Amino acid sequence: MKKLLSLIPLPKFLRRRGQIAVLRLDGVIAPRGRMGKGVSIESHASAIEQAFGVARAKAVAVVINSPGGSPTQSSLVHDRVRALADEKKLPVYVFCEDVAASGGYWLACAGDEIYAQPSSIVGSIGVIYSGFGFVDAMAKLGVERRLHTAGTRKSMLDPFRPEDPDDVERLRNLQDELHEVFKQHVRNRRGGRLKGDEEELFSGAFWSGQRSLDLGLVDGIGDVRTVMREKFGDKVRFKAVHVSRPLLSRLGLGSSKVGEGLAEALADEAEQRLTWNRYGL
């Protein structure tokens, strides 16, 4: 049916208008979660393809609201957007909403231009690891940890054992390596538009949208509708592209057992809340 409709000529006044494909990237960036929430290449690949396939598209507008997450998924989603932008020869405009931080800012760099709200939170160009230590709690409870590995570093940073300085050093080296990849990514995409000192820009700090404009992390202040109309005229139309999520995932019943699905949903929600809470949201 869709194929048939595509063959029907459009009225002349519609042919002149052109469209802006609007793609939303919302949530923590991670491999497709237990509830199917968040952003990943698996969950968003189809929607990205659809955005760049919108008929008479003048540009693709990507609206981001993400506190970050997996550097690998951030890179995969970013690269898919850029590959299709180059293939289809369509400009990409990114609009930061509440948060485009850490991996969320990595995604934002897919834009030829980046916009934010004055109160948006932008930046956090760094790498973080967090965990817990339960050594004293184990001793108080009289619980003995039994762990057997093949490979001397297989149990690195085990939360039930005292922290090993060698493990911390290895973690720090890994973080430094990933941080350098992140920094180079921002340099490559933002180039001469960066205005701040690199020590400040890449410290892991985050700023308001207004301050981010001063630092060259974004190109302007504005929302998708206003900016796109300024660039492409008041007659331009907006075509929202929606991410398809499995029904069972939306209902929280992705597991073979309902009880397991609910438990996983709670764990997933707690993990996401912790990530958002870093930015006071």
d(CA 158, CA 147): 10
Task: Give bridge partners of residue 238 from the DSSP assignment.
Answer: 20
Residue type, 132: F
Rounded Cα distance, 235 and 15, in Å = 11
Question: 271, exposed or middle or buried, with CB in 10 Å at 0-12, 13-18, 19+?
Answer: middle
Residue 154 annotated to the active site: yes
- CA 228 – CA 14 distance, rounded (Å): 18
For the question of residue 102 being annotated catalytic, the response is yes
Q: Radius of gyration of the chain from Cα atoms?
A: 22
Task: State how far the Cα of 102 lies from the Cα of 203, in Å rounded to an integer.
Answer: 11
Q: Which listed residue (66, 70, 102, 124) is catalytic?
A: 102
The residue from 88, 154, 195, 235 that is catalytic is 154
Active site residues: 102, 154
